[in-house]
Amino acid sequence: PGQLNQVFMNLLVNAIDALEEHRQSERKIHISTKKVGEEVEIRIRDNAGGIPAEVQEKLFNPFFTTKPVGKGTGLGLAIVHSIIVEKHGGRIHCQSTVNEGTEFILHLPLVPQEVHS
């Protein structure tokens, strides 16, 4: 549970930061879950400014950040990716449209997998 708490905290803090940066009149974060086969799908979506395609390609790279100096380390999404994929045998990807928003989609096995790290 502690690792997954870290995943959700990182994703939510990023969404909140994006919403604060792109001050829409109606800021939203939407979280949904559903069972898909033998997995749970978790979606975390915001309606902030979105992420350009060239940035999306680097999101999960260690030390990559779009935040100002002193604000981000560039490790948050790399840690999220490591926890979901390497520790829990899941998948994560990002869908984003500039000027509309960003959605992170996580798939985790319902039954814990034996994952080698």
Residue 7: helix, strand or coil by DSSP? helix
Distance from C-alpha of 46 to C-alpha of 86, rounded to nearest angstrom: 26
pLDDT tens, N- to C-terminus, the chain (117 residues): 699 999 999 999 999 999 998 877 789 999 999 999 999 999 999 999 899 999 999 999 998 887 766 677 778 999 999 999 999 999 999 999 999 999 999 999 998 766 555
Return phi, psi of residue 37, to 5°. Answer: 65, -125
Distance from C-alpha of 15 to C-alpha of 66, rounded to nearest angstrom: 13
Whole-model pTM over 0.75? yes
Annotated domain spans of the chain:
2-109
Q: How many residues does the chain have?
A: 117
CATH number for the 2-109 domain, one of 3.30.565.10, 3.30.1360.20, 3.40.390.10, 3.40.228.10?
Answer: 3.30.565.10
CB atoms within 10 A of CB 44: 20
Cβ atoms of 84 and 91 within 8 Å: the answer is yes
